[in-house]
Amino acid sequence: MNKIKYENREIVPSKVICVGRNYVEHIEELNNEIPENMVLFCKVNSSISEELKFFSNETRFEGEICFLVENNQLSGVGVGLDLTKADIQNYLKSKGLPWERAKAFDGSAVFSEFVKLEGNIESIEMKLYLNDNLQQHATYELMIYKPQQILDEILSFMSLEDGDIIMTGTPKGVTNYRLKDKIKIELFIDNKLIVDKEWIVIS
């Protein structure tokens, strides 16, 4: 079973629950419609990885603020990359088929370490740099659905195990990546840097 690090512990998430279309400008950049209800989908444990691998020229990264759940509460916070095989997803969407082949493949959920969630969650901010250039910027205000709303909606129909992870959606700036690209994400709460993670794309 794949693990993530949380407060110097190793945790085995049973699943990763992802929010789709949670930032208006990201919805617009992909020419999607703003959904009437929260869009949720799952990645399985085998999707989880600490490494960022190259899969194809049509695979893109989506930087996200992520939360670890304990006792049905938001307990930890970190950052992650939701990897998407865009060509496969576009085909599946055109046929009205599920997304798992494009979203839940092995290594498609890449995470930093997680730290205890403390401070004012409304001040949370993520910056993602691609080869040292700012590529994505996320804040609490830009989210259509806020973290507690997301947790409450998931719990309305699905049980969460301790260690499960919520990926809260991606802001504008998603793009394909290449071998040896460098992706760095910084996460702030109360203007304090709490997570700083860098990946180099490997084969």
- 60-86 pLDDT, tens digit each: 999 999 999 999 999 999 999 999 999
- 33-42 pLDDT, tens digit each: 777 889 999 9
SS3 breakdown of the chain: % helix, strand, coil, rounded to 5?
15, 45, 40
**Structural domain boundaries enclosing 76:** 4-200
- Supply φ then ψ for residue 44, to 5 degrees: -90, 170
Q: What is the pLDDT of residue 30?
A: 66
CATH number of the domain within which 192 lies = 3.90.850.10
Total of domains in the chain: 1
Q: What is the pLDDT of residue 157?
A: 98
What is the pTM (predicted TM-score) of this model?
0.95
